[in-house]
Structure 1
Amino acid sequence: MLPSFSYVTRHTGFRGTIKNSPSDFVVTEIEVPEHLQGVSRAEPLQRTGEVLPERSSPCPQQPKKRRVEAPPAAGGDPGRAGGGCSAPPGTNHRESEPDLKPGLKEGGMLDSLLGKSMSELLNKFACDVKDAWDLENNADCSSREFSLGPVPDKKTRADLHSAVRQKFPFLLTASKDSEMIVKGNADYRELCRLVTEKETSDFFKFLDAKLENATFSFEPDGNKEHRKIVHHFISRKFGKLLETKSFTVTDVNDQPNVSIVVRFREKRWSGKRSAGGFQEKQDVYTDFSYTGIKDKKAITYQPMVVKKVTPERLKEIGNKMENKGMKIHNIHLACQHLKLGQLKGNHFDIVVRDLKHHSHDDSSADLKKRISEAMENVEIKGFVNYYGPQRFGQGQNVQTDQIGLALLNEKMVKAVKLFFTPEDTDDPVNNAKRYFLQTEDAKGALGMLPEFKVREKMLLRALHRYGVNHEGCTKGWLNIPHSMRIFYVHAYCSKIWNEAASYRLQIYGSKVVEGDLVFSEQDESYFLNDKVHVVTAPEESANKYSINQVVLPMVGHSIKYPSNKVGQWYRERLSKDELQMCKFRVSPLQLNIPGCYRPILKNIQNLSYFLQSNEEGIGIEDNHLTESKVSLHISFDLDPSCYATVCLREIMKCDL
């Protein structure tokens, strides 16, 4: 699996086979995020095989999280972050003010996130801003800022953006690195001069929530010239995001009047124009979201969220799903979609069969003792945190990292040819790939592929339209989802990390040396440079850090490298792949690879195991194990992005 790669422990280990059947490798996501209420740990539910009744009442709809941006220039997209207020699609936002997350409403949320004293200081700053506006103190308004201090955690920062602007819609929030800055919102003040402050406050809450299909109505206004001024204000400030229209409404006295209604602009579909001048309508696929990708040859349990499908509909198709090898449990409404990486970890139940000594080991040695020694060592010392073989396409003629390297080098045609390189088998998929490489007939290959090969079909459709040249292949890659495109680049970055980890352990071992990168805090955020510390010579002498704190960078444009021999190794390794000048941004494919940091070692949690005879009625003797007559059952938990196969490699001391 990982030739010449390092081990942490020195025990002898043993041989065996895994994944003899899917039931030998069971993976269960643990500690599901709070927003998927009602599912906290999947294990007890999924093992029963029963479907629990769905919840009778839905969770309040939550706003989409938005990327935190700096305050916008006048006339641009406001770029507000977070959100924290929502309304059912198609309703007036002011008539349906929903709640924030339970227990985190406005002031309570701010007190929870900031602490009482900082929350009080923020309240005082907000009052001062309002007072300055009342005094028409323009100079003071424009320059006044308030810092909430550093907020390293991205989710906490997003919640804080939302909470501040829900309680104080007249304030803008922004992030400078990890520091949170608050200032008065000049756009809010300008709108206050045109409409009432309540309308202004409600409008900015509507804007901050960014709910699809939601609308906002200003109070009826019979003055056409005044309405025109309001239309122009919204167009000038938020025209890229919003559109307005005047509608006739009836007031309380049944008299007709006119009101301005605001809605978010629809996202335009990109597509080829038909002869009639209209864009061709593209297929809209049902959106499933999940937090992690699981092993193919395994039984896996994980929460999933499907958009715009009712629980009743999912229950209806449950039997059809079972025919395809899938079961649906615990169907209920959820607050929002899931994102990759939101899981807290995975629980594994694994059976290792065909237990044997290594060929170099004394065959008379106690195999049971070998197993016990291996378990104890790895539980204490952990394992090298390599990316597992499934990251790269185990056993394939072309691995995913090779495609990723071609994309980073912007060799689009080469990347396509690698993608369609067939395996040495005679089946419809590989025959279609073989035909395409021989003929470059994308349409013909498309007709040969089974329906389930979604990625291949997406790419071939674009190649048929645009041709198999650099431009056509670039458009082909753009035709598949961003998450799929970047997967290949991440595979390459993972391969480099694996090699770097081996090099680091081979030259320095478990000693932390000058120039190493470490995380000094327990609350690790592997994407923040300000959390990474470069070990100094005095710190090396004092043995200040342990090998468990050492991290290595995943290559990207926003990371720093070790300042010892490992950093030099990175430069030479990237140069070998012609990436010495790579900016790790592939603009034609809209790929941006900032990089991150990954601990060299990881620990196993909640480890337990037992031996079981493969033959009914035959017990296991205390001091002797007959090879291949027993199986090893192991259970343990791993953090996200850790590979059970890599952990087993450390336990067994063999490639799997």
Structure 2
Amino acid sequence: MLPSFTYVTDHLGFRGTIKTAPGDFVVTEMEAPAQEPGEAPLAQGCPCPQQPKKPRAAPDAPHAGPAALPRPAEPSLARAGCCLASLRCGSHPEPTLSPGEANTLDSLLGKPLSELLNQFACELQAAWDSADGSDGSTREFSLGPVLDKKKRAALHSAIRQEFPFLVAVTKGSEMTVRGNADYKELCQLVSEKEAKDFFKFLDAKLENSTFSFEPDGNKEHRKAIHHFISRKFGKLLETKSFTVTNVNDQPNMSIIVRFRERSWSKKRPIGGLQENQELYTAFTLQKENLETLEAIGFLASELGILASDFSYTGIKDKKAITYQPMVVKKVTPERLKEIGSRMEKKGMRIHNIHSASQHLRLGQLKGNHFDVIVRDLKHHSHDTSADLKERISEAIEQVEAKGFVNYYGPQRFGQGQNVQTDQIGLALLKEKMVEALRLFFTPEDNDDPVNKAKRYFLQTEDAKGTLAMLPEFKVREKMMLRALNRYGVNHEGCTKGWLNIPHSMRIFYVHAYCSKIWNEAASYRLSTYSSKVVEGDLVISEESEESFSMNDKVHIVTASEESANKYSIHQVVLPMVGHSIKYPSNKVGQWYRERLSKDELQNCKFRVSPLQLNIPGCYRPILKNVQNLTYFLEDSEKGLRIEGNHLNESKASLHISFDLDPSCYATVCLREIMKCEF
């Protein structure tokens, strides 16, 4: 159930039923227009301006220093570049960067996030350097979603240049930073400066370039370095020892590193694909009366691949006919065509199959188009008006003009289910792995094979037996049960079970909880302050995308700005809870703190390290507008449009079409129009 809804319009509305049949609710995903080569994609969720890629510097010349004695392991890491002038870390020295270099991360991330990254780097380094031997291997820091490919590349390079002991990883659209274990291991063999210079050489990837380690007279030590590079970078690099002489003409040995020739080859194999290029196939999935993840489970099972090999830009309604672009990895167009007829029996059709070059990105979603039929039209019981047609026109005109409250829809939480997804997300945030898993396996009231299997598992905890009972398309459940069968139904086993399903599915439950809190916050904000923008509200001062992950574009309204009516309610945003957001400084901010405390999350860091979940948070506009809205009334019995003023209750249906931005819900828009719950 959603929290008590608040309306932004004041018309009376009308009653009716939606989703009487799947064909009454048709959703078509709209892709963003194709972009010109070199043009940055839509950076949904990332308001920072896109920065040009930083030019790569030429690698350092081979070392030619004096002969070195065998070097002992050096446990401390490179300190240069650890701390910005704005944030010191103990006795670590200030980095020696040029003014242009010093501001690279500030310009790419914004100063607040750059400082948080710097703090993370210092804390990780302190853990690595600590006497207790802590390696900090589970520590991660999220930079939030970064959709622009050029900006991601610039960030990867800038982070490696400034913090050579860190590595940036992209998961879907989110970039996270963690300690570079390879750098740490190399620092046990060579000096910090050599390790830093080696990774700069590796990052530059300049064809025909070489790198030389300091001369080393210890054969066993050189052998260890050879083995390290072969084990970690053997497909990319090759090494060779060669003789060098010092200033006294005394011979010594050094290791030279260069890129393998085949790493730079541009030859195409017979299949026409470049070496190491992934195979992607794009298609449009039409589904009926199926959840998106359930449909993907069917497809993955039939194709013999993982559910995580599919990319898509949103979860679509179950009780509807939906059309959405998808891309699948490791599957040819021919193979996808082969399974088409079998998928029709499951309520799916596959259209527009063609080769693609990469997975789908969130920025490629422009929004969704909806074609909806509302049947059994009636007045509300408290409405004494005789003119239903006038009520409908009035309602649509009001919402067109004023918009609607941007709630997350009931399908986000599992409408009508015994256990809703936000309950599972709350248990995961508390790291109550067993409780979360038992909630996940809680059956519905019917007796189909899936619910029988879930009921059996909760009664017996027999993972192996439950596996045999579940249909093949229940991919998530089967992934979990395999881990439980191996590790047991205890905290460790349940943690392994959650880790066994794709990251996007794990974090889905946590996001559902965050969405529930946002819905409740929106109701509280509007019931407390109505549509007036007040001191302490958060606003976005310029037109942007659906949600934002960076704080530097979110402004706290001042008392003078409230008096001057500087902002409109359409500019007000509310935070989705996470570790990198700020809260309103009025009563709404206090409400957030009390609400999280109610769920025992007052000290929550919004990172679930055992499950590799990192929730930075973002901002969501409190109101949204509907676009391209058209409608007509039809006589349900005769199938003819109603052109005159006469409208017979219950025998008329409303045909309404409109477009919504990504992450907006048609059921929520219709609720504002009709003033009734679904």
Is the 8 Å Cα contact of residues 558 and 595 (structure 1) preserved in structure 2?
yes
Q: For residues 345 and 247 of structure 1, do their structure 2 counterparts lie closer, same or farther at Cα, with a shift above 3 Å needed?
A: same
Aligned counterpart, 1:507: 528
- Name the SS of the counterpart of 1:143 in structure 2: coil
1:103 deviates by: 4.6
- Name the SS of the counterpart of 1:330 in structure 2: strand
Distance across 1 between alignment mates of 2:316 and 2:208: 46
1:295 deviates by: 0.9
- Name the SS of the counterpart of 1:414 in structure 2: helix
Aligned counterpart, 1:53: none
TM-score (norm 2): 0.67
- Name the SS of the counterpart of 1:562 in structure 2: coil
Is the 8 Å Cα contact of residues 247 and 261 (structure 1) preserved in structure 2?
no
Give runs of aligned pairs for residues 297-446 of structure 1, distance below 5 A. Answer: 297-340=319-362, 342-362=364-384, 364-446=385-467
1:102 deviates by: 2.8
Aligned counterpart, 1:69: none
- Name the SS of the counterpart of 1:331 in structure 2: strand
The C-alpha deviation readout for 1:378-418, integer Å capped at 9, x for no partner, is 00101011110001100011111111111111111111111
1:143 deviates by: 3.1
1:589 deviates by: 1.3
1:293 aligns with 2:284: no
1:650 deviates by: 0.3
Residue correspondences, number:
520
Aligned counterpart, 1:39: none
Aligned counterpart, 1:7: 7
Give runs of aligned pairs for residues 600-619 of structure 1, distance below 5 A. Answer: 600-616=622-638
- Name the SS of the counterpart of 1:377 in structure 2: helix
Aligned counterpart, 1:34: 34
Match of residue 107, structure 2, among 139, 144, 150: 150
Distance across 2 between alignment mates of 1:230 and 1:142: 31
Aligned counterpart, 2:497: 476
Distance across 2 between alignment mates of 1:479 and 1:130: 42
Is the 8 Å Cα contact of residues 146 and 152 (structure 2) preserved in structure 1?
no
Give runs of aligned pairs for residues 223-242 of structure 1, distance below 5 A. Answer: 240=232
Is the 8 Å Cα contact of residues 33 and 343 (structure 1) preserved in structure 2?
no
Distance across 2 between alignment mates of 1:260 and 1:552: 50
Is the 8 Å Cα contact of residues 525 and 588 (structure 2) preserved in structure 1?
yes
Give runs of aligned pairs for residues 205-224 of structure 1, distance below 5 A. Answer: none
Aligned counterpart, 1:25: 25
- Name the SS of the counterpart of 2:325 in structure 1: coil
Give runs of aligned pairs for residues 524-563 of structure 1, distance below 5 A. Answer: 524=545, 526-563=548-585
Q: For residues 505 and 103 of structure 1, do their structure 2 counterparts lie closer, same or farther at Cα, with a shift above 3 Å needed?
A: closer
Match of residue 517, structure 1, among 521, 538, 559: 538
Distance across 2 between alignment mates of 1:348 and 1:260: 53
Distance across 1 between alignment mates of 2:98 and 2:230: 24
Aligned counterpart, 1:97: none
Q: For residues 231 and 321 of structure 1, do their structure 2 counterparts lie closer, same or farther at Cα, with a shift above 3 Å needed?
A: farther
Mark the runs of 5 or more structure 2 residues left unpaired by the alignment.
41-47, 65-79, 82-94, 111-144, 169-174, 176-192, 241-256, 264-275, 277-303
Is the 8 Å Cα contact of residues 231 and 244 (structure 1) preserved in structure 2?
no
Match of residue 159, structure 1, among 128, 133, 150: 150
Q: For residues 493 and 571 of structure 1, do their structure 2 counterparts lie closer, same or farther at Cα, with a shift above 3 Å needed?
A: same
The C-alpha deviation readout for 1:89-140, integer Å capped at 9, x for no partner, is xxxxxxxxxxxx83569xxxxxxx999xx98x988xx8xx779999x9x99x
Q: For residues 350 and 471 of structure 1, do their structure 2 counterparts lie closer, same or farther at Cα, with a shift above 3 Å needed?
A: same
Amino acid of the structure 2 residue aligned with 1:7: Y
- Name the SS of the counterpart of 1:559 in structure 2: coil
The C-alpha deviation readout for 1:301-320, integer Å capped at 9, x for no partner, is 12111112222333333333
Distance across 1 between alignment mates of 2:639 and 2:420: 45
1:523 deviates by: 2.7
Amino acid of the structure 1 residue aligned with 2:30: I
Aligned counterpart, 2:646: 624
Aligned counterpart, 1:88: none
1:424 deviates by: 1.3
Is the 8 Å Cα contact of residues 632 and 641 (structure 2) preserved in structure 1?
no
Q: For residues 442 and 373 of structure 1, do their structure 2 counterparts lie closer, same or farther at Cα, with a shift above 3 Å needed?
A: same
Distance across 2 between alignment mates of 1:316 and 1:575: 53
Is the 8 Å Cα contact of residues 60 and 197 (structure 2) preserved in structure 1?
no
Distance across 1 between alignment mates of 2:436 and 2:156: 45
Match of residue 598, structure 2, among 576, 585, 597: 576
Is the 8 Å Cα contact of residues 235 and 243 (structure 1) preserved in structure 2?
no
Q: For residues 343 and 231 of structure 1, do their structure 2 counterparts lie closer, same or farther at Cα, with a shift above 3 Å needed?
A: farther
Is the 8 Å Cα contact of residues 518 and 574 (structure 2) preserved in structure 1?
yes
Match of residue 490, structure 1, among 500, 511, 520: 511
- Name the SS of the counterpart of 2:356 in structure 1: coil
Distance across 2 between alignment mates of 1:453 and 1:437: 17
Is the 8 Å Cα contact of residues 553 and 595 (structure 1) preserved in structure 2?
yes
The C-alpha deviation readout for 1:181-231, integer Å capped at 9, x for no partner, is xxxxx9899679xxxxxxx99x75659xxxxxxxx9989x9xxx99x9999
Question: Is 318-327 or 475-484 further displaced after alignment?
Answer: 318-327
TM-score (norm 1): 0.69
1:102 aligns with 2:37: yes
Distance across 2 between alignment mates of 1:336 and 1:454: 24
Is the 8 Å Cα contact of residues 151 and 157 (structure 1) preserved in structure 2?
no
Aligned counterpart, 1:463: 484
- Name the SS of the counterpart of 1:487 in structure 2: helix
Is the 8 Å Cα contact of residues 442 and 463 (structure 1) preserved in structure 2?
yes
1:348 deviates by: 0.7
Question: Is 383-392 or 623-632 further displaced after alignment?
Answer: 623-632
Is the 8 Å Cα contact of residues 353 and 630 (structure 1) preserved in structure 2?
yes
Percent identity, aligned pairs only, is 68
Mark the runs of 5 or more structure 1 residues left unpaired by the alignment.
36-100, 106-112, 179-185, 193-199, 208-215, 249-257, 267-282
- Structural RMSD (CA): 4.4
The C-alpha deviation readout for 1:212-259, integer Å capped at 9, x for no partner, is xxxx9989x9xxx99x999988977897555567699xxxxxxxxx99
Distance across 2 between alignment mates of 1:546 and 1:238: 60
Q: For residues 508 and 241 of structure 1, do their structure 2 counterparts lie closer, same or farther at Cα, with a shift above 3 Å needed?
A: farther
Aligned counterpart, 1:54: none
The C-alpha deviation readout for 1:479-514, integer Å capped at 9, x for no partner, is 111111111111111111111110111111001111
Distance across 2 between alignment mates of 1:430 and 1:189: 56
Q: For residues 589 and 655 of structure 1, do their structure 2 counterparts lie closer, same or farther at Cα, with a shift above 3 Å needed?
A: same
Aligned counterpart, 1:650: 672
Is the 8 Å Cα contact of residues 291 and 338 (structure 1) preserved in structure 2?
yes
1:542 deviates by: 0.9
Q: For residues 620 and 499 of structure 1, do their structure 2 counterparts lie closer, same or farther at Cα, with a shift above 3 Å needed?
A: same
The C-alpha deviation readout for 1:239-284, integer Å capped at 9, x for no partner, is 7555567699xxxxxxxxx9963899x9xxxxxxxxxxxxxxxx85
Distance across 1 between alignment mates of 2:379 and 2:640: 21
1:359 deviates by: 1.4
Q: For residues 575 and 319 of structure 1, do their structure 2 counterparts lie closer, same or farther at Cα, with a shift above 3 Å needed?
A: same
Amino acid of the structure 2 residue aligned with 1:261: R
- Name the SS of the counterpart of 2:341 in structure 1: helix
Amino acid of the structure 2 residue aligned with 1:26: V
Q: For residues 542 and 486 of structure 1, do their structure 2 counterparts lie closer, same or farther at Cα, with a shift above 3 Å needed?
A: same
Is the 8 Å Cα contact of residues 575 and 617 (structure 2) preserved in structure 1?
yes
1:290 deviates by: 1.1
- Name the SS of the counterpart of 2:354 in structure 1: coil
Amino acid of the structure 2 residue aligned with 1:537: A
Amino acid of the structure 2 residue aligned with 1:336: Q
The C-alpha deviation readout for 1:136-192, integer Å capped at 9, x for no partner, is 9x99x96335246735696576414647999x9x9889999x9xxxxxxx9899679
Distance across 1 between alignment mates of 2:147 and 2:363: 16
